[in-house]
């Protein structure tokens, strides 16, 4: 999510979507991908741009904080800080593991 240019509500970002990292952390991700691509020679590689990973124990700071605000009935639990037509992507850790496994299994 951090390396791609934003999209309009309803559009889906895929691997062909333009890159537009805005700050140092996503810029470093793009720079690392470029280093790998440039130096991998004949070695096959794949970039998985995974964001918002959570698990059954809620090991996701933004998600855990929002759940805590809702549970404690804090005012901030009712306020969305951005455009309500936008959202935050989350993916369960089991699905990340499955994706990595499939990439390895189908690498040819």
Q: Using one digit for the tens of pLDDT, what is the confidence trace for 25-51?
A: 999 999 999 999 999 998 888 889 888
Residue 53, beta-bridge partner list: 91
Q: pTM here?
A: 0.73
pLDDT at 98 exceeding the cut of 80: yes
Kindly tell me if the per-residue pLDDT of 78 is higher than 70.
Answer: no
Work out the number of other CB atoms within 10 angstroms of the CB of residue 106: 8
Report residue 2 as tokens.
Answer: 């951090």
């Amino acid at each position: 999510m951090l390396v791609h240019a934003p999209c309009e509500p309803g559009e889906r970002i895929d691997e062909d979507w333009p890159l537009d990292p805005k700050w140092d952390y996503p810029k470093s991700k793009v720079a690392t991908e470029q280093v790998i691509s440039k130096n991998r020679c004949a070695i096959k590689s794949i970039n998985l741009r995974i964001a918002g990973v959570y698990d059954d124990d809620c090991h996701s700071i933004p998600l855990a904080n929002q759940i805590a605000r809702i549970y404690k009935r804090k005012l901030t639990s009712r306020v969305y800080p951005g455009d309500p037509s936008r959202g935050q992507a989350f993916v369960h850790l089991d699905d990340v593991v499955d994706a990595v496994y499939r990439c390895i299994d189908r690498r040819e």
